[in-house]
Structure 1
Amino acid sequence: MFLQILRENRFASLLLAVLRIYLGCEWLLAGWGKITSGKFDASGFMYGALQKMSGDHPTVQTWWGAFLKEVAIPYVDFFNVLVPWGEFLVGVALILGVFTNFAILMGLTMNFAYMFSGTTSTNPQMVLLGMFILAAGLNAGKIGLDRWMYPYLTNLLVKKANKNPQIAD
Protein backbone atom coordinates (compact mmCIF):
# COMPACT_ATOMS: atom_id res chain seq x y z
CA MET A 1 0.00 0.00 0.00
CA PHE A 2 2.84 2.42 0.86
CA LEU A 3 4.55 1.77 -2.48
CA GLN A 4 1.26 2.33 -4.30
CA ILE A 5 0.89 5.71 -2.60
CA LEU A 6 4.49 6.62 -3.48
CA ARG A 7 4.00 5.61 -7.10
CA GLU A 8 0.52 6.95 -7.80
CA ASN A 9 -0.59 9.63 -5.34
CA ARG A 10 -0.41 13.21 -6.62
CA PHE A 11 0.27 14.59 -3.13
CA ALA A 12 3.14 12.13 -2.81
CA SER A 13 4.53 13.49 -6.08
CA LEU A 14 4.64 16.95 -4.47
CA LEU A 15 6.53 15.66 -1.43
CA LEU A 16 8.83 13.68 -3.71
CA ALA A 17 9.52 16.81 -5.76
CA VAL A 18 10.58 18.63 -2.58
CA LEU A 19 12.88 15.74 -1.60
CA ARG A 20 14.20 15.48 -5.15
CA ILE A 21 14.99 19.19 -5.35
CA TYR A 22 16.65 19.14 -1.92
CA LEU A 23 18.89 16.23 -2.94
CA GLY A 24 19.51 17.88 -6.29
CA CYS A 25 20.72 21.06 -4.59
CA GLU A 26 23.02 19.05 -2.33
CA TRP A 27 24.56 17.23 -5.32
CA LEU A 28 24.75 20.33 -7.49
CA LEU A 29 26.51 22.40 -4.83
CA ALA A 30 28.94 19.59 -3.98
CA GLY A 31 29.85 19.09 -7.62
CA TRP A 32 30.01 22.79 -8.47
CA GLY A 33 32.34 23.44 -5.53
CA LYS A 34 34.72 20.78 -6.81
CA ILE A 35 34.49 21.97 -10.43
CA THR A 36 35.08 25.64 -9.69
CA SER A 37 37.87 25.14 -7.16
CA GLY A 38 40.07 23.60 -9.83
CA LYS A 39 41.89 21.73 -7.07
CA PHE A 40 39.81 18.57 -6.73
CA ASP A 41 41.94 15.45 -6.37
CA ALA A 42 40.31 12.21 -5.25
CA SER A 43 43.60 10.44 -4.56
CA GLY A 44 43.82 11.71 -0.97
CA PHE A 45 40.32 10.43 -0.27
CA MET A 46 41.14 7.06 -1.85
CA TYR A 47 44.42 6.64 0.05
CA GLY A 48 42.60 7.64 3.24
CA ALA A 49 40.04 4.91 2.59
CA LEU A 50 42.84 2.35 2.17
CA GLN A 51 44.18 3.28 5.61
CA LYS A 52 40.75 2.50 7.08
CA MET A 53 41.10 -1.15 6.04
CA SER A 54 43.28 -2.07 8.99
CA GLY A 55 42.80 -2.41 12.72
CA ASP A 56 40.44 -4.41 14.90
CA HIS A 57 37.32 -2.85 13.39
CA PRO A 58 38.09 -1.68 9.85
CA THR A 59 35.55 0.70 8.33
CA VAL A 60 36.55 -0.25 4.77
CA GLN A 61 36.12 -3.81 3.60
CA THR A 62 38.96 -5.57 1.81
CA TRP A 63 36.98 -6.05 -1.41
CA TRP A 64 36.37 -2.30 -1.64
CA GLY A 65 39.98 -1.59 -0.81
CA ALA A 66 41.02 -3.93 -3.61
CA PHE A 67 38.77 -1.99 -6.01
CA LEU A 68 40.33 1.28 -4.90
CA LYS A 69 43.86 -0.09 -5.15
CA GLU A 70 43.49 -1.91 -8.47
CA VAL A 71 40.98 0.24 -10.37
CA ALA A 72 40.30 3.66 -8.84
CA ILE A 73 43.79 4.80 -7.84
CA PRO A 74 45.48 3.83 -11.13
CA TYR A 75 42.76 5.80 -12.96
CA VAL A 76 42.45 8.65 -10.48
CA ASP A 77 42.59 11.24 -13.27
CA PHE A 78 39.39 9.76 -14.69
CA PHE A 79 37.73 9.85 -11.24
CA ASN A 80 38.92 13.44 -10.76
CA VAL A 81 36.66 14.36 -13.68
CA LEU A 82 33.90 11.79 -13.10
CA VAL A 83 33.17 12.67 -9.46
CA PRO A 84 32.63 16.44 -9.68
CA TRP A 85 30.80 16.34 -13.00
CA GLY A 86 28.77 13.31 -11.87
CA GLU A 87 27.70 15.12 -8.71
CA PHE A 88 26.88 18.29 -10.65
CA LEU A 89 24.88 16.53 -13.39
CA VAL A 90 22.97 14.38 -10.90
CA GLY A 91 22.06 17.61 -9.12
CA VAL A 92 20.88 19.29 -12.32
CA ALA A 93 18.81 16.26 -13.34
CA LEU A 94 17.17 15.96 -9.92
CA ILE A 95 16.35 19.67 -9.71
CA LEU A 96 14.83 19.67 -13.20
CA GLY A 97 13.15 16.29 -12.69
CA VAL A 98 14.59 14.89 -15.90
CA PHE A 99 15.61 11.22 -16.09
CA THR A 100 14.91 11.20 -12.35
CA ASN A 101 15.19 7.43 -11.87
CA PHE A 102 18.59 7.26 -13.56
CA ALA A 103 19.84 10.37 -11.76
CA ILE A 104 18.84 9.09 -8.32
CA LEU A 105 20.38 5.70 -9.09
CA MET A 106 23.68 7.40 -9.94
CA GLY A 107 23.40 9.53 -6.81
CA LEU A 108 22.83 6.44 -4.69
CA THR A 109 25.81 4.77 -6.34
CA MET A 110 28.03 7.71 -5.38
CA ASN A 111 26.61 7.78 -1.83
CA PHE A 112 27.37 4.08 -1.39
CA ALA A 113 30.87 4.53 -2.82
CA TYR A 114 31.55 7.23 -0.22
CA MET A 115 30.15 5.07 2.58
CA PHE A 116 32.11 2.02 1.38
CA SER A 117 35.17 4.26 1.66
CA GLY A 118 34.51 4.78 5.36
CA THR A 119 32.77 8.16 5.42
CA THR A 120 29.31 8.95 6.65
CA SER A 121 28.53 12.69 6.82
CA THR A 122 25.14 13.22 5.11
CA ASN A 123 25.45 10.11 2.94
CA PRO A 124 23.12 7.83 4.97
CA GLN A 125 20.44 10.54 5.02
CA MET A 126 20.81 11.04 1.27
CA VAL A 127 20.58 7.27 0.70
CA LEU A 128 17.38 7.05 2.72
CA LEU A 129 15.73 9.94 0.87
CA GLY A 130 17.04 8.61 -2.45
CA MET A 131 15.47 5.21 -1.79
CA PHE A 132 12.04 6.84 -1.46
CA ILE A 133 12.56 8.64 -4.76
CA LEU A 134 13.77 5.48 -6.47
CA ALA A 135 10.87 3.42 -5.09
CA ALA A 136 8.39 6.05 -6.31
CA GLY A 137 9.43 5.49 -9.90
CA LEU A 138 7.91 7.89 -12.42
CA ASN A 139 5.83 9.67 -9.78
CA ALA A 140 9.02 11.27 -8.43
CA GLY A 141 9.49 13.17 -11.69
CA LYS A 142 5.86 14.08 -12.42
CA ILE A 143 6.44 17.58 -11.12
CA GLY A 144 9.38 18.08 -13.43
CA LEU A 145 10.49 17.54 -17.01
CA ASP A 146 9.88 13.78 -16.80
CA ARG A 147 6.17 14.59 -17.06
CA TRP A 148 6.74 15.52 -20.72
CA MET A 149 9.96 13.63 -21.44
CA TYR A 150 8.73 10.06 -20.89
CA PRO A 151 5.55 10.31 -23.00
CA TYR A 152 7.59 11.95 -25.78
CA LEU A 153 10.24 9.22 -25.68
CA THR A 154 7.59 6.49 -25.52
CA ASN A 155 5.82 7.90 -28.59
CA LEU A 156 9.13 8.22 -30.39
CA LEU A 157 10.00 4.58 -29.70
CA VAL A 158 6.54 3.37 -30.73
CA LYS A 159 6.79 5.26 -34.03
CA LYS A 160 10.24 3.83 -34.62
CA ALA A 161 9.03 0.30 -33.82
CA ASN A 162 6.11 0.70 -36.23
CA LYS A 163 8.48 1.76 -39.02
CA ASN A 164 10.93 -1.06 -38.29
CA PRO A 165 9.15 -4.28 -37.19
CA GLN A 166 12.46 -5.89 -36.19
CA ILE A 167 12.66 -3.52 -33.19
CA ALA A 168 9.40 -4.93 -31.78
CA ASP A 169 10.79 -8.47 -31.73
Structure 2
Amino acid sequence: MVELREAKYGKEVYVEENPLSRWLFSNTKSAWIWLILRIYIGYTWVTSGFGKVTNDAWTGSNAGVALEGYMTGVMSLAEEGGVAGWYAWFLESFVIPNATVVSYMVAWGELLVGLGLIVGFLTGIAAFFGALMNISFLLAGTVSSNPVMLLIAMLLVLAWKVAGWYGVDRWALPKLGTPWRIKRE
Protein backbone atom coordinates (compact mmCIF):
# COMPACT_ATOMS: atom_id res chain seq x y z
CA MET A 1 0.00 0.00 0.00
CA VAL A 2 1.29 3.45 -0.84
CA GLU A 3 0.16 6.35 1.29
CA LEU A 4 0.40 9.97 0.19
CA ARG A 5 0.71 12.71 2.78
CA GLU A 6 0.77 16.44 2.33
CA ALA A 7 4.21 17.80 3.14
CA LYS A 8 5.58 21.30 3.48
CA TYR A 9 7.12 21.26 -0.02
CA GLY A 10 4.78 18.89 -1.82
CA LYS A 11 3.65 15.34 -1.39
CA GLU A 12 5.60 12.69 0.49
CA VAL A 13 5.16 9.08 -0.51
CA TYR A 14 5.26 6.39 2.16
CA VAL A 15 5.72 2.85 0.89
CA GLU A 16 4.49 0.23 3.31
CA GLU A 17 7.16 -2.03 4.69
CA ASN A 18 6.92 -5.72 3.85
CA PRO A 19 5.64 -7.94 6.69
CA LEU A 20 8.89 -9.89 7.16
CA SER A 21 11.14 -6.86 7.58
CA ARG A 22 8.52 -5.13 9.76
CA TRP A 23 8.45 -8.22 12.00
CA LEU A 24 12.25 -8.62 12.08
CA PHE A 25 13.17 -4.97 12.63
CA SER A 26 10.22 -3.56 14.59
CA ASN A 27 8.54 -6.39 16.51
CA THR A 28 9.83 -7.39 19.95
CA LYS A 29 8.80 -11.00 19.22
CA SER A 30 11.86 -11.18 16.93
CA ALA A 31 14.18 -10.03 19.73
CA TRP A 32 15.29 -13.58 20.54
CA ILE A 33 16.92 -13.83 17.08
CA TRP A 34 18.87 -10.62 17.70
CA LEU A 35 19.83 -11.81 21.19
CA ILE A 36 21.51 -14.91 19.73
CA LEU A 37 23.34 -12.88 17.09
CA ARG A 38 24.32 -10.20 19.65
CA ILE A 39 25.77 -12.78 22.03
CA TYR A 40 27.67 -14.48 19.21
CA ILE A 41 29.46 -11.41 17.85
CA GLY A 42 29.62 -9.77 21.28
CA TYR A 43 31.52 -12.76 22.65
CA THR A 44 33.84 -12.70 19.63
CA TRP A 45 34.61 -9.00 20.18
CA VAL A 46 35.05 -9.38 23.96
CA THR A 47 37.49 -12.28 23.67
CA SER A 48 39.48 -10.53 20.95
CA GLY A 49 39.47 -7.19 22.80
CA PHE A 50 40.33 -8.74 26.17
CA GLY A 51 43.27 -10.52 24.57
CA LYS A 52 44.54 -7.19 23.26
CA VAL A 53 43.80 -5.11 26.38
CA THR A 54 45.81 -7.55 28.50
CA ASN A 55 48.65 -7.77 25.97
CA ASP A 56 51.64 -5.48 26.55
CA ALA A 57 52.17 -5.10 22.79
CA TRP A 58 48.70 -3.55 22.41
CA THR A 59 48.08 -1.49 25.56
CA GLY A 60 51.08 -1.82 27.82
CA SER A 61 54.55 -0.32 27.84
CA ASN A 62 55.12 -1.65 24.31
CA ALA A 63 51.77 -0.38 23.01
CA GLY A 64 51.65 -0.16 19.26
CA VAL A 65 54.27 -2.86 18.60
CA ALA A 66 51.69 -5.47 17.61
CA LEU A 67 49.79 -2.99 15.42
CA GLU A 68 53.00 -1.88 13.69
CA GLY A 69 53.85 -5.52 12.99
CA TYR A 70 50.39 -6.09 11.57
CA MET A 71 50.65 -2.94 9.46
CA THR A 72 54.00 -4.09 8.03
CA GLY A 73 52.23 -7.17 6.70
CA VAL A 74 49.36 -5.07 5.35
CA MET A 75 51.76 -2.71 3.57
CA SER A 76 53.50 -5.67 1.89
CA LEU A 77 50.06 -6.76 0.64
CA ALA A 78 49.51 -3.22 -0.64
CA GLU A 79 52.69 -3.44 -2.70
CA GLU A 80 51.33 -6.61 -4.33
CA GLY A 81 47.98 -4.93 -5.04
CA GLY A 82 46.10 -6.80 -2.30
CA VAL A 83 45.07 -3.61 -0.49
CA ALA A 84 43.41 -0.59 -2.08
CA GLY A 85 45.84 2.27 -2.73
CA TRP A 86 43.79 4.88 -0.85
CA TYR A 87 43.58 2.59 2.20
CA ALA A 88 47.33 1.90 2.10
CA TRP A 89 47.87 5.68 2.00
CA PHE A 90 45.58 6.09 5.05
CA LEU A 91 47.46 3.40 6.95
CA GLU A 92 50.85 4.84 6.03
CA SER A 93 49.88 8.47 6.71
CA PHE A 94 47.72 8.10 9.81
CA VAL A 95 47.65 4.66 11.41
CA ILE A 96 51.36 3.79 11.42
CA PRO A 97 52.55 7.21 12.72
CA ASN A 98 49.91 6.99 15.47
CA ALA A 99 50.29 3.27 16.16
CA THR A 100 50.25 3.64 19.94
CA VAL A 101 46.99 5.61 20.06
CA VAL A 102 45.33 3.46 17.37
CA SER A 103 46.43 0.35 19.24
CA TYR A 104 44.56 1.49 22.35
CA MET A 105 41.55 2.45 20.22
CA VAL A 106 41.40 -0.99 18.59
CA ALA A 107 41.88 -2.95 21.82
CA TRP A 108 39.40 -0.98 23.93
CA GLY A 109 37.03 -0.54 20.99
CA GLU A 110 36.76 -4.30 20.50
CA LEU A 111 36.18 -4.88 24.21
CA LEU A 112 33.57 -2.12 24.56
CA VAL A 113 31.70 -3.09 21.39
CA GLY A 114 31.56 -6.67 22.65
CA LEU A 115 30.30 -5.66 26.08
CA GLY A 116 27.70 -3.33 24.57
CA LEU A 117 26.40 -6.12 22.36
CA ILE A 118 26.35 -8.75 25.09
CA VAL A 119 24.44 -6.60 27.59
CA GLY A 120 22.33 -4.99 24.87
CA PHE A 121 23.22 -1.38 25.65
CA LEU A 122 23.08 1.06 22.74
CA THR A 123 23.04 -2.03 20.54
CA GLY A 124 22.73 -0.21 17.22
CA ILE A 125 25.66 2.08 18.03
CA ALA A 126 27.81 -0.80 19.28
CA ALA A 127 26.99 -2.81 16.15
CA PHE A 128 27.83 0.19 13.94
CA PHE A 129 31.30 0.54 15.47
CA GLY A 130 31.80 -3.22 15.27
CA ALA A 131 30.93 -3.08 11.56
CA LEU A 132 33.35 -0.18 11.12
CA MET A 133 36.15 -2.27 12.63
CA ASN A 134 35.17 -5.26 10.46
CA ILE A 135 35.34 -3.08 7.35
CA SER A 136 38.76 -1.78 8.42
CA PHE A 137 40.07 -5.31 8.91
CA LEU A 138 38.63 -6.41 5.56
CA LEU A 139 40.19 -3.44 3.77
CA ALA A 140 43.50 -4.43 5.36
CA GLY A 141 43.18 -7.89 3.82
CA THR A 142 42.16 -9.83 6.93
CA VAL A 143 39.22 -12.03 5.96
CA SER A 144 38.81 -14.53 8.83
CA SER A 145 35.34 -14.15 10.41
CA ASN A 146 35.03 -10.49 9.42
CA PRO A 147 32.55 -10.92 6.53
CA VAL A 148 30.11 -12.88 8.72
CA MET A 149 30.51 -10.46 11.62
CA LEU A 150 30.03 -7.48 9.27
CA LEU A 151 26.79 -8.93 7.92
CA ILE A 152 25.44 -9.62 11.42
CA ALA A 153 26.48 -6.15 12.60
CA MET A 154 24.70 -4.50 9.67
CA LEU A 155 21.53 -6.44 10.47
CA LEU A 156 21.81 -5.43 14.14
CA VAL A 157 22.11 -1.79 13.09
CA LEU A 158 18.89 -2.15 11.10
CA ALA A 159 17.20 -3.89 14.03
CA TRP A 160 18.38 -1.35 16.62
CA LYS A 161 14.83 -0.77 17.92
CA VAL A 162 14.33 -4.38 19.02
CA ALA A 163 17.84 -5.90 18.99
CA GLY A 164 18.45 -4.86 22.60
CA TRP A 165 14.97 -5.78 23.88
CA TYR A 166 16.48 -8.61 25.91
CA GLY A 167 19.07 -6.28 27.38
CA VAL A 168 19.61 -2.83 28.83
CA ASP A 169 18.12 -1.10 25.76
CA ARG A 170 14.66 -2.23 26.85
CA TRP A 171 14.85 0.37 29.61
CA ALA A 172 17.56 2.69 28.32
CA LEU A 173 16.07 3.60 24.92
CA PRO A 174 12.74 4.85 26.31
CA LYS A 175 14.64 6.96 28.86
CA LEU A 176 17.24 8.27 26.42
CA GLY A 177 14.78 8.76 23.59
CA THR A 178 15.78 9.14 19.99
CA PRO A 179 17.20 12.21 18.27
CA TRP A 180 14.18 12.52 15.98
CA ARG A 181 11.52 12.03 18.67
CA ILE A 182 9.11 14.93 18.95
CA LYS A 183 8.66 15.81 22.60
CA ARG A 184 5.02 16.38 23.45
CA GLU A 185 4.16 18.54 26.39
TM-score, normalized by the shorter chain, greater than 0.5? yes
CA separation in 2, counterparts of 1:70 and 1:39? 21
Aligned to 1:20: 38
More strand as a share of residues: 2
Higher relative contact order (CA 8 A, sep 6+): 1
Distance in structure 1 (CA, Å) of the matches to 2:184 and 2:133: 35
Give the equivalent residue in structure 1 for 2:9: none
Q: Letter of the aligned partner of 1:28 in structure 2?
A: V
* Shift in alpha-carbon separation, 1:80–1:161, aligned structure 2, 3 A: farther
**Structure ranking higher in helix proportion:** 1
| 1:35 aligns to 2:58 (yes or no) | no
User: Could you tell me which of 107, 122, 134 is aligned with 2:145?
Assistant: 122
Aligned-CA RMSD value: 1.9
- Which stretches in structure 2 are left out of the alignment for 5+ residues? 1-17, 59-65
Q: Indicate conservation of the 8 Å contact 1:6/1:135, yes or no.
A: no
Structure 2 CA distance for aligned equivalents of residues 140 and 131 of structure 1: 12
Taking a change above 3 Å as real, the CA distance of residues 154 and 80 of structure 1, as seen in their structure-2 partners, is same
Task: Tell me which stretches of 4 or more aligned residues in structure 1 moved more than 6 Å.
Answer: none
Alignment TM-score, normalising by the size of structure 2: 0.79
Give matches, 1:120-159, under 5 Å: 120-154=143-177
What is aligned with 1:165?
none
SS of equivalent to 1:119: coil
CA distance in 1, matches of 2:21, 2:97: 42
Q: Which has the larger radius of gyration?
A: 2
Equivalent residue for 1:93? 116
Task: Evaluate the alpha carbon distance shift between residue 10 and residue 151 of structure 1 in structure 2; reply closer, same or farther with a 3 A threshold.
Answer: closer
Displacement of 1:112: 0.4
